[in-house]
Amino acid sequence: MADKLLFLTGKLALPGLQKVLDDMAPLPFDYQLHQIGVSVAALMTDKMIGRRLKPEHYAGYKEIIVPGRCRGDLIALSEQLGISVVRGPEEMKDLPLYFGRERKQPDLSQYDVNIFAEIVDAPERDIAGILDRAEYYRDAGADVIDIGCLPQEKFPHMEEAVAALHEAGFKVSVDSLELDDLRRAGKAGADYLLSLTENTFHLAEESDAIPILVPAEPGSLASLERAMEAMDKINKPWIADPILDPIHFGLTNSIVRYHQLRASYPEADIMMGVGNLTELTDADTAGVNALLFGIISELGVNNVLATEVSPHARRAIKEADVSRRMMYAAKRESSLPRDLTSDLLVTHERRPFPDSAQDIATLASNIKDPNYRIKVAEQGIYMFNRDGLMQAKDPFDFYPQLDLKDDTGHAFYLGAELAKAQIAWQLGKRYTQDEELLWGCATTMEAQDLTKQKEQGTTMTTGRKCGTAE
């Protein structure tokens, strides 16, 4: 016998929800829709549900599904009603995806790539500044903090920096072209040394630090292999880095070297420095990182050196963290890296417009109040209330049809919302009135506490006369 689910919705969303479920047939469950006496489903709260839902409404049901933006403590509500109450997707048009995945959230907690995040200007920072940057990188997902030494620049507090980072719980690597810097780093207790060659690998004998080996001659896999063999003779661990070259300066050949190295050494620890692409390509780094980590996943590269130097690469460490988790999950499930996370979809979205023009027209025909609703579809921006439906691509085209001269707060609010709607339409992003646009991991969004009600906005005034369409 199929499970029975009860969907709670509002008056305006009821026909649309019914259509979405009809289009999903055949369904692996039985269901019933229940309109609890609120016009806008998103305004539903746990207290409202607790007051209005009676035992006879949900008798014999396994679960109650409420709109994704429903506010309140659903755990407490479940205990009160004696039945599981869960949030569905934020958009009802996403129900097929929601149930297609059996409501199983992808596990992005695992990864198999360590991220070395380089503080490239460490010698120019004091200890507090180094620790501050390290904490930022740790929050972004870094596993190891790499202290970058600058050519011909003194770094008298390197030892102190290594000690301070260790005390703060960080693993530390030191990157320098100067042998003296690397020797000091090893004696200071650094966990890794970048970058040793077949000519300098002997430094690894002077400390317990794990060396990252690179070719002594640019592009020479043979040089790298000689360094690896030398380390094996002294029975010390190592990590090999064939060096990823920038576009038009050997990128393709360098990827081939990585492939050859993995084929020859299936169990070797390998590093790839991705900065030569993220930093030296004028393209959004989220996409660059996603592609690189796909290659990294296929090749079994298990260490990555990443940087945030160029202004356009300001979120590269976080993007690397998201990328490694996404690719690991896809590889584990033998699937494409799709529908696992939207954190790398910064400027565009796969499903930007859940509502069609007809959907919006149908919704607008049922509006009986003067409050303006704003929606975005493929054709442009839609604005409507009880007095009519307007459509435009430029928010300024709406202004002659509005009467807001006596309500500056409302005018400001609509201006801000229409600006977001225009950006969403131009880029192909989801727009939801009163909600922030989502920019993936390019920005840091405060987590919403759905157990609490939203605070009233600063433009809201009591006794407002809402603007109406002419």
Q: Which of 5-14, 87-96, 270-279 has the highest mean pLDDT?
A: 270-279
| Residue 403: per-residue pLDDT | 81
| Residue 102: per-residue pLDDT | 43
The rounded distance, in Å, linking the Cα atoms of 348 and 134 is: 31
CATH code, residues 4-100: 3.40.50.11600
* Mean of all residue pLDDT scores within the chain: 91
CB–CB of 454/408 below 8 Å? no
201: CB partners within 8 A, 6+ apart:
211, 213, 227, 230, 231
CB–CB of 270/297 below 8 Å? no
Could you confirm whether domain 114-332 is CATH 3.20.20.20?
yes
What's the average model confidence in pLDDT over 221-249?
A: 97
Instruction: Examine the pLDDT at 435 and tell me if it is beyond 80.
Output: yes
Q: Where is pLDDT greater, at 99 or 79?
A: 79
Of 186, 196, 289, nearest in space to 241 by CA: 196
What's the average model confidence in pLDDT over 255-276?
A: 98
Q: Domain-by-domain residue ranges, the chain?
A: 4-100, 114-332, 341-470
Calculate ∠ Cα 41-46-48, nearest 5°.
Answer: 70
Which three-class secondary structure state does DSSP give residue 391? strand
**Residue 277 exposed, middle or buried by CB count within 10 Å (0-12, 13-18, 19+):** buried
| Residue 1: per-residue pLDDT | 58
Query: How many Å separate Cα 248 from the centre of its chain?
Result: 30
> What's the pLDDT tens digit per position in 171-209?
999 999 899 999 999 999 999 999 999 999 989 899 999
First to last CA, the chain: 54
Cβ atoms within 10 Å of 465's Cβ, excluding its own: 12
Which three-class secondary structure state does DSSP give residue 425? helix
| pLDDT band per the 50, 70, 90 thresholds, residue 93 | confident
What's the average model confidence in pLDDT over 32-57?
A: 90
Instruction: Examine the pLDDT at 92 and tell me if it is beyond 50.
Output: yes
The full DSSP string for 212-241 is: EE--SSTT-HHHHHHHHHHHHHTT---EE-
> What's the pLDDT tens digit per position in 328-338?
999 998 888 98
Instruction: Examine the pLDDT at 315 and tell me if it is beyond 80.
Output: yes
Angle between helices 316-332 and 285-299 in degrees, nearest 10: 40
| Residue 453: per-residue pLDDT | 66
> What's the pLDDT tens digit per position in 400-423?
998 887 888 889 999 999 999 999
